[in-house]
Amino acid sequence: MPENRASFSRAQMKQRLRGVYTALITPFRDGAVDEKCLRDLVEIQVASGVDGLVPAGTTGESPTLSHEENVRVIRVCVEAAKGRLPVLAGTGSNSTSEALDLSRRARDAGADGLLVVAPYYNRPTQRGLILHYEAIMREVDLPLVLYNIPGRTGVNVEPETIFALKRTGNLAGVKEASGLADQVSKIVELCGPDLSVLSGDDSLTLPFMAVGAVGVISVVSNVAPRETHDMVRAWRDGRRDDAMALHRRLFPLVKALFSETNPVPVKTALSMMGKCLPDLRLPLAPMEEGNAARLLSAMRAFGLKA
């Protein structure tokens, strides 16, 4: 039996799967997950008005977390959120059995939904992708957001595949990080408003929303949650000039945060702000000195550093 219940029902999640979901970093101290720091980061996000939290994703260095750590990070996030924000737990793997196990354990930890990246490295066919996601949706009755990021996985989840999964399972949304507005347009055309499309790239949030996306799973909102939230809300409310002004303000910071492999720059930025230690797990390494200097300059220009 599940140990905890989700804070939000499936119907509530369907309504809430929009806006800004912050892809949280996982802070470390002395080689272990820094749970106090993680709780503090959740409080910052709640106070800043974002719409949801995503622990144990790629930004949370999930490839370097043990399964026990992965589940613990999700549980700590759920406990810290206290039902104030939905928690979309990262539970993906290139092994279906592992993704299924993590998804079950995330459900039992009280997660409100799942973020499941397409299987990486083994490059399944579209039929294999369908079978992978169907197996998880069949066994774990939580809203599932499919994470499509071909640059990291080596396979693109085609819009027709997403449509097939929407018809056969409890697919609630897609985090689209292909970088292709055409793909977002096709997903929206095929699946309609019942499927939430969220940008997986901060720099493309507004372009994707212009063709039907309803928000973003964001990295920059780790350091600028209020501004990211206000940008997305302004666009959704029809205040396009305000949204564009915020986009232009955020854009240099976003580019600096992706000057090296995510999450190295965003964790570096948070450490510069005194929010966490800069500790990473190999094979991720500290930022190159020149890139770190450019990041600091962008942060100062944005007002994050004196």
With H, G, I as helix, E, B as strand and everything else as coil, classify residue 37: helix
Q: Locate 161 and state its tokens.
A: 């595949």
Residue 133 vs residues 87, 116, 127, 146, 188: alpha-carbon distances, Å? 20, 8, 10, 8, 19
3-state secondary structure of 4: coil
Whole-number pLDDT of residue 67 = 96
**pLDDT of res. 1:** 34
Spatial distance between the Cα atoms of 227 and 220, rounded to a whole number of angstroms: 9
Instruction: Please tell us whether the domain made up of 10-239 is placed in CATH 3.40.605.10.
Output: no
Is 147 tagged catalytic? yes
- Residue 66 tokens read as 């043990």
Rounded distance between C-alpha atoms, residue 92 and residue 74, angstroms: 13
* Average confidence (pLDDT) per 10 residues, the chain, 306 residues: 74 92 98 98 98 97 96 98 98 96 97 97 96 96 96 96 90 97 98 96 98 98 98 98 98 98 98 97 97 97 86
Res 2: pLDDT: 45
Give pLDDT, residue 213. Answer: 98
Based on DSSP, count helices (H) and strands (E) in the chain, helices before strands.
13, 10
Is there a catalytic annotation at residue 175? Answer: yes
Task: State how far the Cα of 271 lies from the Cα of 294, in Å rounded to an integer.
Answer: 15
Q: Which residue out of 21, 133, 166, 175 is catalytically annotated? A: 175
Tokens of 16: 């809430």
Give the residue from 281, 286, 277 showing the smallest Cα distance to 29: 277
Q: Where are the domains of the chain?
A: 10-239
3-state helix vs strand vs coil in the chain, percent to 5: 50, 15, 35
Give, rounded to a whole angstrom, the gap between the first and last alpha carbons of the chain.
51
SS3 call for 207: helix
Contacts of 84 (CB under 8 A, 6+ apart): 46
Q: Please identify which of the residues 147, 166, 186, 267 carries the catalytic annotation.
A: 147
Looking at residue 3, its pLDDT comes to 63
